[in-house]
Structure formats: structure tokens, C-alpha cells
Amino acid sequence: MKEIISVIVPIYSVEKYLSRCIESIINQTYRNIEIILVNDGSPDNCGQICDEYAKKDERIYVIHKKNGGLSDARNAGLKIAKGEYISFVDSDDWIHEKYIEKLYDLITKSNADISMCDFIKTSDDNVKVDNSNEEITEYSNIEALDLLMGGKLNVQFVVSWGKLYKRRLFENIKFPIGRIHEDEFTTYKLLYKAKKIVFTTSKLLFYWQREDSIMGTGEYNIKNRLDALDAFEERAVFFNKVGLNDLCGKAYKSLFFLLKNTKNQIDQKDMLIDNTEMMAFSKMLENRNLISYIN
């Protein structure tokens, strides 16, 4: 029998989209999966929807917990996951019926630690994709980290979803609770631990474009940006610690670019910020002796 794959779905205020997501996982051609639905204190009917699906499919496990954010929900799913492999699906997205089968075949045949696919952004429930011209590429961990730091595949390498991981990669790695940009804090560590990463250009995940997302509502404020800056800095420090000097340099370049962009947005009043947040931003620059880089 093929190995168990754990699919973890963090859920919060997605009543309108949840069934579409769950149905796409239930209907995977790869059947030996456990589906972990993490109801992160959702105020709508998501919890009830999860329980109803659990009654219909014995592969579904439901966690009901207090709201703790996306990272906390993913960590809760990881805690109970029994699979040798892990995949994350956001609850407003959905996946191609061959998503798990394809990623499993890639990771096993390539003897990789992570397999990953391309995705498509859409606001159309009936979107169709053509994967007939598929290209498959294998990368070392350093090559993958270089792509994470820039280039046309940057998004695919940064995000946690759209991937299948060997479970062992998560030993001593958790998602940062209470932080936005949780993937920026986490994925590079998983890529570094991997010996090989394999990528397919097949678009197997459908990323739903929501008007009420952070970017859609214009609420990309200083709190979000401070978390991003912390993530960028942690990444640079990590690369320096493990002796990846070229990647360290690229990481600091990204950090300084984001700092300068943030300062410009504040000066031009394009970013929402109050006095307390301005003090926090200024303190961060002062503590890290970064003021000279953005003036």
C-alpha cells in the first residue's frame, strides 16, 4: 500500500469557499490520505461544515481550536499528522484531482525531499488548465534557495502550499505564531534541510483571488510590513550562520530594498500608520543601526 499523506487545511471565515476546497481533496486520485481540517475558531459555519464532512469520509479529522492564526492552525495540524508526507492547502483555494498523485510520484521517483507544482490565480470556479507541455526540473537545496531569493519562480518557492514535504523536514521547525508572512519565516529553512527539490510546471493548485484578502482590502499596513522586515532579516542572519555568503548578500539586499520602499510609502502617506506604529518602525531601525541605509 502506498504511504499515507497528510493534507492540512487551516480554516477561518471561509464558509463560502470551504466545500469547494474539501471536495477537491476528497476527490484526489491518490486515495491513501488523511485530511486534517483545522477550524481556527471560525465565527461562521465552518466548524459545522467540517463536522458534516467528517461524518461522510473516515479519512477526515477535525480540530476545533481557539483562533490563533494561520501558523497556529498549521502547527496544530502538524502535531497530529500521521503521514510520511505533508501538504498544506489554504481553505479558499482548491487543487487539481491529480495534485497529490503527481507530487507523490515526483518526490518518490526523484528521491527528493520536497516536490512542488505551479499554480494559477483565478476568480473563476470553472477555470481550465492545459498541462500538456509539462517540464520537470530537479534542484539542489542551494539552487532552490537561490530561486526563492529572486527570479520568476520566487513565489512558488516561498509559499508553503503547492508542495509535498517529507515529514522529517518539520523536526524542530514550526510556523511563527502571531506573525504575518509566516511562509517567509519558514520555507527557506525547509528548503535548506532538503537534499533535493523537484518542480513541475503543471498548474495543479488554484489560488483564489479574494476581494477581502489583505492585499485586496488595502490593509497592507505597517504591522504587516514589520513582520516582513523581521522575516527578511532572520533569513539573512540564517544564511550568514550556515555560511551561504552569496545568499546572505542577496537577503540583505532584499531587506534594505524593503526598508527603503517602506520609508518612501510612509513619507508619501501611502501606508496606514499611527504614531505608535511609527515609533515601532523607528525603534526597529535604530536597534539594528539601519537608518543610514534608507536616508
Q: What is the pLDDT of residues 199-251, one digit of tens each?
A: 999 999 999 986 655 444 434 567 788 888 899 999 999 999 999 999 999 99
Task: Give the pLDDT of residue 286.
Answer: 64
Range of the domain at 23: 5-208
**Domain count across the chain:** 2
Clarify whether residues 248 and 184 are in a common domain: no
As a whole number, mean pLDDT of residues 98-126 equals 96
User: Going by C-beta distance under 8 Å and a sequence separation of 6 or more, which residues neighbour residue 44?
Assistant: 13, 15
Q: Are residues 171 and 226 in the same domain?
A: no
pLDDT at 285 over 60: yes
DSSP 69: -
Mean pLDDT score, 110-137 = 95
Could you tell me if 245 and 200 lie in one domain? no
Q: Which of 25-34, 71-80, 88-97, 271-280 has the lowest mean pLDDT?
A: 271-280
pLDDT of residue 151: 74
Any domain includes 157: yes
Same domain, yes or no: 228 and 196: no
Band of pLDDT at residue 152, cut at 50, 70 and 90: confident
Calculate the average pLDDT of the chain: 90
Evaluate whether residue 109 is within a structural domain.
yes
- Residue 40 has a CB neighbour count (10 Å cut-off) of 23
Shared domain check, 121 and 253: no
Instruction: Kindly report the CATH number assigned to the domain that includes residue 148.
Output: 3.90.550.10
**Identity of the residue numbered 55:** K
pLDDT, position 125: 87
Output the DSSP codes for 107-153. HHHTT-SEEEEEEEEES-TT-----TT--EEEEEHHHHHHHHTSSTT
CA 10, CA 70: separation in Å to the nearest integer? 6
Q: What is the DSSP track for 196-220?
A: EEEEEEEEEEEEE--TTSTTTTT--
Residue 82 shares a structural domain with residue 182: yes
Quote the CA–CA distance of 134 and 103 in Å, as a whole number. 13
Answer yes or no: do 71 and 195 share one domain: yes
Same domain, 66 and 153: yes
Both 172 and 271 in a single domain? no
- In angstroms, the CA 95 to CA 12 distance is 18
Specify whether 171 is located in the same domain as 258.
Answer: no
Question: For residues 167 and 210, is the Cβ–Cβ distance under 8 A?
Answer: no
Question: 279 and 227, same structural domain?
Answer: yes
Residues 111 and 202 occupy one common structural domain: yes
Determine, yes or no, domain membership for 217.
no
Of 208, 234, 258, the residue that ends a domain is 208
- 213, part of any domain: no
Helix, strand, or coil here: 186? helix
Asked whether residue 216 is domain-assigned, the answer is no
